[in-house]
Amino acid sequence: MGSRGTRTLILGGVRSGKSGHGESLLLDCPSVRYLATGPTTSSDADWVARLTAHRARRDDRYTTVETIDVAAALRSDQTPTLLDDLGNWLAAHLDAVGGWGDAPVDLTSVRSEICSAIEDFTAELVIISPEVGLSVVPPTPAGRRFQDELGALNEAVAAVCDRVVLTVAGRVLDLPAAPPTPTPTATTSTPTATAPAPTATVLPSTATDTAPTAPEKPAAAASPAPTTGEPVDPTDAENFPPVEPPDITTAAAARARHLDLTKPPGSLGRLEDLGVWLASCQGACPPRQLTEPRVVVFAGDHGVAQSGVSAFPPEVTAQMVANIASGGAAVNVLARRAGATVQVVDMSVDADTAPEVSRYKVRRSSGDLRITDALTIAEARAALAAGRAIADDLVDAGADLLIGGEMGIGNTTPATVLIGTLTRREPVEIVGRGTGIDDAGWIRKTAAIRDGMRRARRHVHDPLSLLAAVAGADLTALAGFLAQAAVRRTPVILDGMVVTAAAMVANELAPGAARWWVAGHRSVEPAHSVALEHLDLEPILDLSMRLGEGSGALTALPIVASSVDILRSMATFAEAGVSDKDEPAAALAADRS
Ligand SMILES: Cc1cc2ncn([C@H]3O[C@H](COP(=O)(O)O)[C@@H](O)[C@H]3O)c2cc1C
Ligand SMILES: O=C(O)c1cccnc1
């Protein structure tokens, strides 16, 4: 593999499933060194039985090396390694310094030696360590020493690992990054390239459009949208605050209002549902008309596109970024019609782009997902932080609806890998034609997606490392953008397959985010229907589109705006003097009494 491997620390109690999980993380490695830190022979029958059970699970890819000099072993051989475990390693070092009594010991130097060897290690590394801190404080000096020292060791090793998990009862819990040490961070907001101001709009201004008899009243229980975003800490970008759902009291008020409007109940079908959703997102019935919808197109190249998985050459990405920045792409035309503005952001284009577009650029092209990680964990965090900061800036500036778009030759390949991995589908079921590849290209693309899925599957429970492994910086920033919109209680219209793939990961990062999203359309890409079903989203339109950029979402935007008009501007039965469905019967009953 070209890039460095992931360093994973697995903590867990006795028989919690930690070794089994560690071995499963190394399934794709053709050979694995097993660094055994405990004795591999013993007169204790139970100990031998445990070793035999562990050994039986490991296949012939494993070579066992028995040592307590783990730092030297890690430095001497950069092959994929399972280190099992830190508890035995610590016990051996306490033995060596006679550290089991009351006299103070100082293991700082061996601890920093092992940590720096872990930090410098370049292949896949899985470290197992017991979590003994959850029990009572032991009654013996030796027990207390072991518990205290192991706590300090686990914390130090966790700090140099990319991923830390806790296994309990055979389940694996991903542990979030340690809280950052607070340092003052400056917020900056440099605008990226913005397309020409809209010349035509279907979104009417609120001034001319207020419903005569339905004054706008914020629903009682709606908590207000946070007004400003906390600056996102790039070292902690994958940790989102809890996402609150849209307001259900307002949803009920909007549903009730629909029943008062001069139409048979439910006769406007899903247009009614859309109005209810937007009202509940805003916490206002009737909802305010959308006046500040914003589109952000995240652009990036993908290493895999060098291998003929697209009908178009990679240089089209940079050319299209320039086209979008100057207002000539489909996304710009549709945005002008719908009254939205467009900005394009270069996250990982394989060329130099204008400074106002490349402010958040993480790297030139993401790695080829078939053979290497698309991003390092640090790059993935930077891309997530960028998407979140862009959403924050737009919401702080008054955006009332967000749309994420994408531009990147080859990006239907990583998007299909994400969808296939998270929904556990076979590649052949879900691979589409993207920009229109021929049969030979489809076969190449399917093989690339299969390879990517093989690499991705071990990250299925860890959205950050999944994004780093296969998504690339553009899709990762999109995931951050979509999740942050939900955190900021701002509605989103999703676009096609590529955006929905990022949305799936965003909903893993920020569970519940999907309730702030509607699906603008159903793309012809087969993976899109699978992703929509997974997120339980029913698309507004089905126009056989397959462009991306945000085009499907923008085509649906006027329909969402119409759903607001209906709730704002239609007359009620009482206002128009129209008999309601139950009125004649009610009048008769009143006459008889
Ligand atoms: C001129 C042009 C404009 C586009 N606008 C969006 N895409 C779309 O097509 C690409 C994904 O398809 P694939 O995976 O097959 O390459 C992405 O750039 C996506 O945004 C375009 C593609 C082209 C060629
Ligand atoms: O559905 C999409 O997002 C899509 C389809 C084809 C090409 N680009 C994007």
Chunk the chain into consecutive blocks of 10 residues (it has 593) and report each block's average pLDDT, rounded to whole numbers: 77 90 86 85 77 79 89 92 93 87 84 90 93 84 88 91 89 74 36 44 46 41 50 89 97 98 98 98 98 98 98 98 98 98 98 97 98 98 98 98 98 98 97 98 98 98 98 98 98 99 98 98 98 98 98 98 98 96 60 50
Ligand nearest to the CA of 312: 1
Q: Is the ipTM of this complex over 0.85?
A: yes
Q: Which atom of ligand 2 is nearest to the CA of 549?
A: 9
Q: Which atom of ligand 1 is nearest to the CA of 415?
A: 14
Placement of tokens 């990147």 in the chain: 408
pLDDT at 587: 54
442, exposed or middle or buried, with CB in 10 Å at 0-12, 13-18, 19+? middle
pLDDT at 488: 98
- Taking the centre of ligand 1 as the mean of its atom positions, its distance from the CA of residue 548, in whole angstroms, is 7
User: What sign does the CA torsion over 424, 426, 430, 433 have?
Assistant: positive
Please say if 549 is a catalytic residue: yes
pLDDT at 585: 55
Nearest to 407 by CA among 310, 308, 549, 195: 549
Joined tokens for residue 31: 């050979």
Those residues whose C-beta lies under 8 Å from the C-beta of residue 567, and which sit 6 or more positions away, are: 211, 214, 254, 257, 258, 261, 275, 279, 285, 286, 287
SS (HEC) of 503-524:
HHHHHHHCCCHHHHEEECECCC
What is the Cα Rg of the chain in Å?
Answer: 28
Residue 528 Cβ contacting ligand 2 at under 6 Å:
yes
**From 419, 498, 500, mutation site for ligand 2 pocket: most ligand atoms within 8 A of C-beta:** 498
Residue 524 Cβ contacting ligand 1 at under 6 Å:
no
- Taking the centre of ligand 1 as the mean of its atom positions, its distance from the CA of residue 201, in whole angstroms, is 26
- Taking the centre of ligand 2 as the mean of its atom positions, its distance from the CA of residue 209, in whole angstroms, is 36
pLDDT at 584: 62
Could you read off the pLDDT of 144-192 as tens digits, one per residue?
889 989 999 999 999 888 889 999 988 888 787 765 443 333 333 333 4
pLDDT at 179: 57
Catalytic residue among 131, 272, 379, 549: 549
- Taking the centre of ligand 2 as the mean of its atom positions, its distance from the CA of residue 451, in whole angstroms, is 21
pLDDT at 201: 53
pLDDT at 206: 40
287 neighbors 251 (Cβ within 8 angstroms)? no
How far is residue 113's CA from residue 98's CA, in Å, rounded to a whole number? Answer: 19
Nearest to 400 by CA among 270, 502, 279: 279
- Taking the centre of ligand 2 as the mean of its atom positions, its distance from the CA of residue 375, in whole angstroms, is 22
Nearest to 483 by CA among 463, 454, 459: 463
Residue 498 Cβ contacting ligand 2 at under 6 Å:
yes
Residue 496 Cβ contacting ligand 2 at under 6 Å:
yes
Residue 411 Cβ contacting ligand 1 at under 6 Å:
yes
pLDDT at 40: 67
How far is residue 152's CA from residue 138's CA, in Å, rounded to a whole number? Answer: 16
37 neighbors 191 (Cβ within 8 angstroms)? no
Task: Specify the residue with its C-alpha closest to ligand 1, atom 3.
Answer: 320
